[in-house]
Structure formats: C-alpha cells, structure tokens
Structure 1
Amino acid sequence: MQRITLAPGYEISRVIRGGWQLAGGHGDIDRTTAVEDMVAFADAGITTFDCADIYTGVEELIGQFRLRYRDLRGEEALSRIRVHTKFVPDLAVLPTISKAYVEGVIDTSLKRLNLETLDLVQFHWWAYDIPGWLETAGWLKELQDEGKIGKVSATNFDSDHIEALFEAGIPLTSLQLQYSLLDRRPEKRMVSLAQNKGFALFCYGTVAGGFLSDKWLGVTEPEHPLENRSLTKYKLIIDDIGGWDLFQALLATLRRIADRHQTDIATVASAAMLRKPGVAAVIVGARNRDHLPSNLAISDITLSQQDLAEIDGVLAQARALDGDVYTLERDRTGRHGSIMKYNLNKGPDEGRNKGE
C-alpha cells in the first residue's frame, strides 16, 4: 500500500477506508466482526479510516477497533492508525451555533474514538446563506490550539470559501470532495488551489456509487426510481455529462484497461484518480473485507500513458458539470439538491445519522 506524508510526522495510506457503510440504514452490523474487518484492513496496509460524528455508531466502532488493535499489535502499530472524522453541525443548529456546541461535539468524538487528540477533523457547513461558517472554523482552530484537534480540514467546501478560510488565517491540511472520472468539477479551480495553498485532496465517489463497475457494463439504462439515493445522485451526473451511451463508452474503455492489468473496472476508476495532481488519497466504502484485495490493488496498479490517454479520449466528449465543488448539491431547489437529506432533530449525543 502506497503511503503519503501530509505534514511532518503525519503519514496516511493512499487508500482510506470509508465508514459510511457501517452507519445506520445499511443493514445490521455485527460489531465484533466489524472490528476484526478493520484489523484486517490495517494489517494489509490500509491504516487510515474515515468517519463522521453523524455516521451513527461508526466512531464508537473505530474506537473499539483502536483498542483491539493496540492489544493485538502493540502501541507502535497503533501509532500508524489515523482516524479522519468530520464535524457536521445540524442544519437547524447553524443559525445559533456556538463554540460550546462545537466543543461538545468534538468532546463526544474524542470519547467515542478513545483519543486524547483527534487526528484530523473535516468541517462541513450545509448552507452558505446561513452565516457563521467562518467563525465556526475559527473555533475549530482554537480547539486545535488547545490540543483537542490535530489537524483542521474541510469537506465539500467550494473554491471561494476555501480561499476565504486561508485568508482568515485558518490553513487546512486537506479537503474531502467528490472527484471521479465522471465528476471533474474540482479541475476547474480546486486542484490548482490545493497545489497553491498546499492542502491535500481526498476523493470520495471514485466509483460513482457503484456505477463505475463491471456490474453496469452493457446494461440497459435504468429507470427511476433507482435502488438508493447514492445511485440517484450519480445517475444525474451521468445524465448531465452526456448520457448513458457516453457512460457505456467509458465503461468499455475501462474494461479494456482492466483486462491489461488483470483487474476490474472499479479498481481502474479509483487508480486513475490517484494519478490526478493534488490527490493524496481515495476513500473506498466497505461494509466488510470482501473487497479488500481490490482495495489494495488500487495503489498497486501503474496505469500507462496509453491507458490514461484512452480514458481522456472518451471524457473529451463529456459536457462539463455546472458550478464548483458541491455547488449542484447545495442548490436545494435543483435536481441534485432535491435528493439531499438533512437530519435536523438529533444532537451528537443521540447519534446523528449521515446528513448528506
């Protein structure tokens, strides 16, 4: 597994295990098995784990895993484990948010994860038209100065607001964002901004909710409603960049490349993102260890210039998506925004659900 240094003394695996699939709404989870799966990922070299305060039960699971891994492998091995969580204040809280609220959520995450300092906290703000996001980021910086947070980062912020954070004296270590062969909005501004400001990009959605896989090659275009909200979201992107025929052409190209490397479409789609400028890591969703060999292969594959040129040749026919990073999703009156779901009622101590 490839590794990358984000800052002095801070190294992560270039494939990050996502935690959303372990949250509520994805089926029953056997906690003991889930912890042992995490041990298997860490032993294989995927030592960085992504979660959020709103992924129900996931911070607690990772906290249990950390204790289990220390007991099995020792303190030195545990020191290689990095946990990236998210601070996602409820939409209803935004107008009245306070530092006490922020600190309360951070303290809860510390307790759940069995950490004295959170490795890296990714800040999300639902609606820019509600003031307070810059002040809230400042409070996270204060908690960093107080030792409760190791590194302050962000998720789903657009280029204008990232620039504003840096101008306010809040440097970010990283930005988690949707970035895939289908969704190339970050290439408009964010990639160059990341290089200029020196923050890393963590990509989610690299397999587009499963669309970028062998399962969909040669399949007739599906009709709505689709199986889940994730597929609905990425199907809109497929429609917007050129439609099902263009998407099938991309899958066929990825399949030819996968044949050369004796792997699958999803692995090639994620491996291609690791070659993108500014991208430090890709985040892979996993309910268990069933796809661990494929996850490991993401950083093993060396795509050739021919491979990349063939992908670029298909994507040259695609239309550009409107807006900057997460712009479509923030427009709650538009097609993309209409499928976003907000949980307004539960506080952090009650175990909030994923709200995006």
Structure 2
Amino acid sequence: MQRITLAPGYEISRVIRGGWQLAGGHGAVDPAVAVDDMVAFADAGITTFDCADIYTGVEELIGKFRLAYRDLRGEEALRRIRVHTKFVPDLTVLPTISKAYVEGVIDTSLKRLNLERLDLVQFHWWAYDIDGWLETAGWLKELQQAGKIDKVSGTNFDSDHIEALIAAGIPLASLQLQYSLLDRRPEKRMVSLAAQYDFALFCYGTVAGGFLSDKWLGIAEPAHPLENRSLTKYKLIIDDIGGWDLFQALLGTLRRIADRHQTDIATIASAAMLRRPGVAAVIVGARNRDHLAENLAISDITLSDKDLSDIEAVMAEAKELEGDVYTLERDRNGRHGSIMKYNLNKGE
C-alpha cells in the first residue's frame, strides 16, 4: 500500500477505508466482526479510516478497533493508524451554534474514538446562507491550539469558501470532496487552490456509488426510482455529462484497461484518481473485507500513458457539470439536511 506524508510526522495510506457503510443503512452490523475487518485492513496496509460524528455508531466501532489493535499489534503499530472524522453540526443548530457546542461535539468524538487528540477533523457546513461557518472554523482552530485536534480540514466546501477560510487563517490540511472520472468539478478551481495553498485532496465517489463497476457494463439504462439515494445521485451526474451511451462507452474503455492489468473496472476507476494532481488518497466504502484485495490493488496499479489517454478520449465527449464542488448537490437538496446527510462523504 502506497503511503503519503501530509505534514511532518503525519503519514496516511493512499487508500482510506470509508466508514459510512457501517452506520446501519446497509444492514445490521456485528461489532466484533466489524472490528476484526478493520484489523484485516490495517494489517494489509490500509491504516487510515474515515468516519463522522453523524455516522451512527461508527466512531465507537473505530474506538474499539483502536484498543483491540493496540492489544494485538502493540503501541508502535497503533501509531500508524490515522482516524479522519468529521464535525457536522446539525442544520437546526447552525443559527445558534456556539463554541461550547463545538467543543462538546469534539469531546464526544475524542471519547468515542479513545483518543487524546483527534488526528484530523473535517468541517462541514450545510447552508452557506446561515452565518457562523467562518466563526465556527475559528473555534476548531482554537481547539487545535488547545491540543484537542491535530489537523483541521474541510469537506464539501466550494472554492470561494475555501479561499475565505484560508484568508481567515484557518490552517486546512486537506479537503474531502466528490471527485471521479465522471465528476471533474474540482478541476475548475479546487485542484489549483490545493496546489497554491498546500492542502491535500481526499476523493470520495470514485466508483460513483457502484456505477463505475463491471456490474453496469452492457446493462440497459435503469428507470427511476433507483435502489438507493446514492445511485439516484450519481445517475443524475451520468445524465448531466452526456447520458447512458457515453457512460457505457466509458465502462467499455475501463474494461479493456482492466483486462490489461488483470483487474476490475472499479479498481481502475479509483486508481486513475490517484494519478490526478493534488489527490493524496481515495476513500473506498467497505462494509467488510470481501473486497480487500481489490482495495489494495488500487495503489499497486501503474496506469500507462495509453490507459490514461484512452480514458481521456472518451471523456472528451462529456459535457461539463455546472457549478463548483458540491454546488449541484446543495441546489438539488435545498436545505433539507436529512437528505444531504445521506449524500455526504460516503466514501463509495
């Protein structure tokens, strides 16, 4: 597993294990089995885990895993484990948010994860038209200075707001954002901002909720309603960039590339994103270790110039998505946080 250094003394695996699938929405979760699966991921080299305060029960599971991993592998092995959580204040809290509220949520995450200092906290704000997001980021910085947070980061902020955060002196280590072969909105401005201000990009959605996989190759266009919100969300993106025929052309190209590397479409789709400028890591959703081998292969594959040019030849026919990072999602979901939560950072 490739590793990358984000800052002196702070190293992560370039494939991050997503945690949303353990929040209960994909079926019952056996805590003991979940912890064993995390041990398998860590032993294999995927030592960075993504979660959030709003992913029900996931911080607690990772906290149990950390204790188990210390007992099984020792303190030195535990030091390689990084946990990236999110601070996501509820939409109803935003108008009256206070530093006490922020610190209380951070303290809860510390307790759940069995950490004395949170490795990396990714800040999200549901509605830009509600004031307080910049002040709240400042409180996170104060908690960082107090030793409760190591790295302050963001998730799903657009370019204008990232520039405002940086101008306000918020030291962003990274930004988690939707970025895939289908969704290239980050290339409008965010990739250059990441280079200019030296923050890393963590990509979710690299397999588009499962659409970028062998399962959909040669399949007729599905009708609504789709199976879940994730598929609905990414089907809208497929529609916006040019439709089902273009999407099938991309899958066919990815399948031919996968044949050259003896792997599958999803692995190629994620591996391609690790080649993008500014991308430090991709987040893979995993309920268990069933696809661990494929997850490991993401960073092992070296795509050739022909592989990459074949992908670009197909995507040259795609239409540009409107807006900046997460703009479409905010517009389509309005300010109904209950919907947006299901679409936030699933790491699929």
Q: Deviations over 1:14-50 (max 9, x none)?
A: 0000000000221000100000000000000000000
Distance in structure 1 (CA, Å) of the matches to 2:251 and 2:130 = 40
Q: Give the superposition deviation at 1:330.
A: 1.1
In the other structure, the counterpart of 2:236 is: 236
Among 312, 323, 333, the alignment partner of 1:337 is 333
| Match status 1:156 vs 2:151 | no
Quick one: which amino acid aligns to residue 8 of structure 1?
A: P
Distance in structure 2 (CA, Å) of the matches to 1:170 and 1:48 = 23
Mapping of 1:277-296 within 5 angstroms?
277-296=277-296
Q: Deviations over 1:133-164 (max 9, x none)?
A: 00000000000000000000000000000000
Q: Deviations over 1:82-105 (max 9, x none)?
A: 000000000000000000000000
Distance in structure 2 (CA, Å) of the matches to 1:269 and 1:337 = 27
Matched residue of 1:281: which SS?
strand
| Match status 1:193 vs 2:193 | yes
Matched residue of 1:11: which SS?
strand
Matched residue of 2:29: which SS?
coil
Distance in structure 1 (CA, Å) of the matches to 2:116 and 2:49 = 17
Distance in structure 1 (CA, Å) of the matches to 2:316 and 2:157 = 26
Mapping of 1:1-356 within 5 angstroms?
1-331=1-331, 336-337=332-333, 342-343=337-338, 356=344
Quick one: which amino acid aligns to residue 160 of structure 1?
A: D
Quick one: which amino acid aligns to residue 141 of structure 1?
A: K
Q: Give the superposition deviation at 1:337.
A: 2.2
Q: Deviations over 1:108-149 (max 9, x none)?
A: 000000000000000000000000000000000000000000
Q: Give the superposition deviation at 1:354.
A: 5.3
Distance in structure 2 (CA, Å) of the matches to 1:174 and 1:299 = 20
Quick one: which amino acid aligns to residue 337 of structure 2?
A: Y
Q: Give the superposition deviation at 1:71.
A: 0.1
Q: Give the superposition deviation at 1:171.
A: 1.7
Query: TM-score, normalised to structure 2's length?
Result: 0.97
Distance in structure 1 (CA, Å) of the matches to 2:248 and 2:46 = 31
Matched residue of 2:16: which SS?
strand
User: Does structure 1 conserve the Cα–Cα contact (< 8 Å) formed by 2:230 and 2:343?
Assistant: no
Distance in structure 2 (CA, Å) of the matches to 1:264 and 1:108 = 40
**Percent identity of the aligned residues?**
84
User: Does structure 2 conserve the Cα–Cα contact (< 8 Å) formed by 1:90 and 1:343?
Assistant: no
Distance in structure 1 (CA, Å) of the matches to 2:184 and 2:250 = 14
User: Does structure 1 conserve the Cα–Cα contact (< 8 Å) formed by 2:202 and 2:280?
Assistant: yes
Matched residue of 2:172: which SS?
coil
Q: Deviations over 1:208-254 (max 9, x none)?
A: 00000000000000000000000000000000000000000000000
User: Does structure 2 conserve the Cα–Cα contact (< 8 Å) formed by 1:55 and 1:354?
Assistant: no
Q: Deviations over 1:52-88 (max 9, x none)?
A: 0000000000000000000000000000000000000
Matched residue of 1:173: which SS?
strand
Once superposed, what is the RMSD of the aligned Cα atoms? 1.1
Q: Deviations over 1:265-289 (max 9, x none)?
A: 0000000000000000000000000
Distance in structure 2 (CA, Å) of the matches to 1:317 and 1:293 = 33
Poorly superposed stretches of 4+, deviation over 3 Å: 353-356
Distance in structure 2 (CA, Å) of the matches to 1:167 and 1:121 = 19
Q: Give the superposition deviation at 1:341.
A: 5.5
User: Does structure 2 conserve the Cα–Cα contact (< 8 Å) formed by 1:242 and 1:318?
Assistant: yes
Q: Aligned pairs, how many?
A: 343
Q: Give the superposition deviation at 1:342.
A: 2.1
User: Does structure 2 conserve the Cα–Cα contact (< 8 Å) formed by 1:200 and 1:279?
Assistant: yes
Q: Mind listing any 5+ residue stretches in structure 2 that lack a counterpart? A: none
User: Does structure 1 conserve the Cα–Cα contact (< 8 Å) formed by 2:229 and 2:342?
Assistant: no
Distance in structure 2 (CA, Å) of the matches to 1:59 and 1:324 = 30
